[in-house]
Amino acid sequence: MDSENASSAAFVPHDERDQKQGSCQTHTAQIAQEVCVKAAVGLWQAEGEDQKEKSICINEDAKSLIFIDKADAETKEYHFTFDGVFNFSKDQDKALSDLIQSMLNSVLSGYNVSILLCGIDNPGMDSILGGKGNQLGLIFQIIELAFQGVHPTDQEDSLVTVAFMQVSSDGLVSYLL
């Protein structure tokens, strides 16, 4: 292959030069797809718990988590960085707007989105996911956001599906909707 063809794009059409060389080369186009992955940590703090007694701190930028191990005589700190660190009992709206909203916007461009929430079984988790009183839980807020921007015209077909599953530590899977 000469230097002129070496710098060509991934898709090269069949042309007269291939015929003159007596070969029929197959060229394929490679499509690169960017995937958005975000990782966040949601902490659960019960009412009345004092933050000073905890061995977990959220850095001011709300993207860093510092775990302080006070079990030994020597205190050790471990730093972890995420796309977001939030408190489930206070910052649920912030997590939705900062992290989940941008991912759901990519659905309108034809991308698939998976949101994975994991943690220990907690009595308050049901109200976070399903809602409590007049406040919508994460599941219903995500549904509302996912379908807000979908406006198909008469000339195009679109299909948007949403599924919510809960996997328990004992391996049981239940569909939430």
Q: Which pLDDT tens digit goes with each residue over 119-177?
A: 666 666 666 777 778 877 778 888 888 787 777 666 677 777 777 777 776 777 776 66
- Per domain, the residue ranges of the chain are 91-150+158-177
- Whole-number mean pLDDT of the chain? 65
DSSP annotation of 10: S
Out of 8-12, 71-75, 118-122, 131-135, least confident range: 8-12
pLDDT at 20: 41
Residue at token pair 């029929």: 24
> How many residues comprise the chain?
177
Retrieve residue 114's tokens: 């998976």
CA 116 to CA 165: how far, in whole Å?
Answer: 9
46/43: higher pLDDT? 43
Q: Give the DSSP per-residue string, 70-95.
A: -SSSS-EEEEEE-SEEEETTT-HHHH
Is the pLDDT at 101 greater than 60? The verdict is: yes
Alpha helices in the chain (DSSP H): 3-6, 16-20, 92-95, 101-105, 125-130, 138-148
pTM for this entry: 0.54
CA 52 to CA 10: how far, in whole Å?
Answer: 57
Which helix (H) or strand (E) element contains residue 131?
A: strand 131-132
Q: If you average pLDDT over residues 26-39, what whole number do you get?
A: 57
